[in-house]
Structures are given as C-alpha cells and as structure tokens.
Amino acid sequence: MPGDPLRAKYIAENYLDNFIEINNTRLMLGYTGYYKDKKISIMSHGIGIPSALIYTRELIKEYNVKKIIRIGTCGTVQKDIQLRDIVISMGASTDSKINRIRFNNHDFSAIADFNMIFHVFLTAKKMNLKVRIGNFFTTDTFYDDDSNILKILEKYNIIGIDMETTAIYSIASEFKVQALSICTVSDHLIKKEAISAKDRESSFNEMIKLSLETALLV
C-alpha cells in the first residue's frame, strides 16, 4: 500500500503481470495482479490516519486481506540517516489520539508483525540493501514549526516520521493480521533537506522490490 494512488498505478504497471484495476472510487487507485506467480494487490491508502484506517479496515473486513505492507515516504531527524535511505518501522509512537480512542484511553504499543520484520531483514540482506529498523513517529501535523518535538524525536531515536503507520499497526493487531511499514526518507527535518518529486520515484524502486520480495515469503 503506497499513500499515493499514482504510485499504486506505477507499481502495477511496472511490477505486476496480468493486473486489473480493482478500484478508482475517489481516484484511490487499486490493482490486483501477479508478482512471480503470487497474487498481490496494490492499493493506495491516501494521506493521514483517517484515510489509511478506512482503506486498511475495509481491505481486512470486506476483502479478507491478511497481510499488509505499507510502502511510503517519511521524514527523519537522525543525523546518520540520509535522504533516500530505507527505514523500517518496528513500532510507531504517535501524537495522534487514535490509539487511545480505540484502546480505552490507554497507550497502545503499535508494533510490526515479527514474521514480516524477520523476512524483510533477510530480504534486504540478500538484496544487499542497507536498511534501518526502529521506532517511527506517526504525526497528525505535516506542517509543524515546533522544533522542540524534533529534538525529542531525535533524542528518543525515532528513525522515521510519517502520518499512517501507528494506525495501520493497531488495526492489524485488532484483527490479528500481519502489517509492516517500510519508508524511503524524503525529508530531513533537522538538515532541512528534501528530495525532488522526480528523485522520489527512482528511490522508490528499491523499496518496491524489497516489499514485493518480502511478500513472497510471509
């Protein structure tokens, strides 16, 4: 699941055999096809927790989906992580109230599926890809001028900042399905750097291959 519908189209057109479009309502494009003979759907989830929660919940509840891999972009605050690096979320902290709403006002520990973490790590090694696995921070505010939170995120070793992962992990837990979130770093919030839209596309290819190869194993 990429956030961007056009990325879903790109993945289907470039990586899947015999694919068909399965959704274009609200232009939230989705495709089902085959990757190395395994049936796989690529469905976009849009931006932010509410959008991602609606699409993931419907996939799980209405379409019996058991394995979800998000492939997105994220920000970082760590000095030893560069633009275009691949970061993988073992868990996801948040400034959103979503998990408290869903978890009786307690703090839910939103974690990735272990089998997926295990296989994505092995796959990355096999592909000679350098990846970092650690804690994400899922935020409701993309444009936030508060530099204090960035210092805290850096101190607590948050490797990726996105807008969906914590919710995807909590809904996957609720329905006992597997989920994993992999991101390419598109913004360095301390160094104030960002990759161009064109660069985003090419750095995406390694992550697409990593996620599809992982999907074959989990």
Catalytic residue from among 113, 144, 146, 187: 187
Is 50 an interacting residue with respect to ligand HPA (CB under 6 A)?
no
Whole-number Å distance between alpha carbons of 165 and 1: 11
Q: To the nearest whole angstrom, how small is the minimum distance from the Cβ of residue 185 to ligand HPA?
A: 8
Q: To the nearest whole angstrom, how small is the minimum distance from the Cβ of residue 125 to ligand HPA?
A: 26
Is 75 an interacting residue with respect to ligand HPA (CB under 6 A)?
yes
Among 124, 161, 168, 171, binds ligand HPA (CB under 6 A): 161
Catalytic residue check, 145: no
- Contact indicator for 69, 215 with CB cutoff of 8 Å: yes
Give whichever of 44 and 139 is closer to ligand HPA, judged by the CB atom: 139
How many residues of this chain interact with ligand HPA, rule: CB under 6 A? 11
Is 210 an interacting residue with respect to ligand HPA (CB under 6 A)?
no
Is 213 an interacting residue with respect to ligand HPA (CB under 6 A)?
no
**Binding site residues, ligand HPA, CB under 6 A:** 73-75, 139, 142, 161-163, 186-187, 189
Write out the catalytic residue numbers: 187
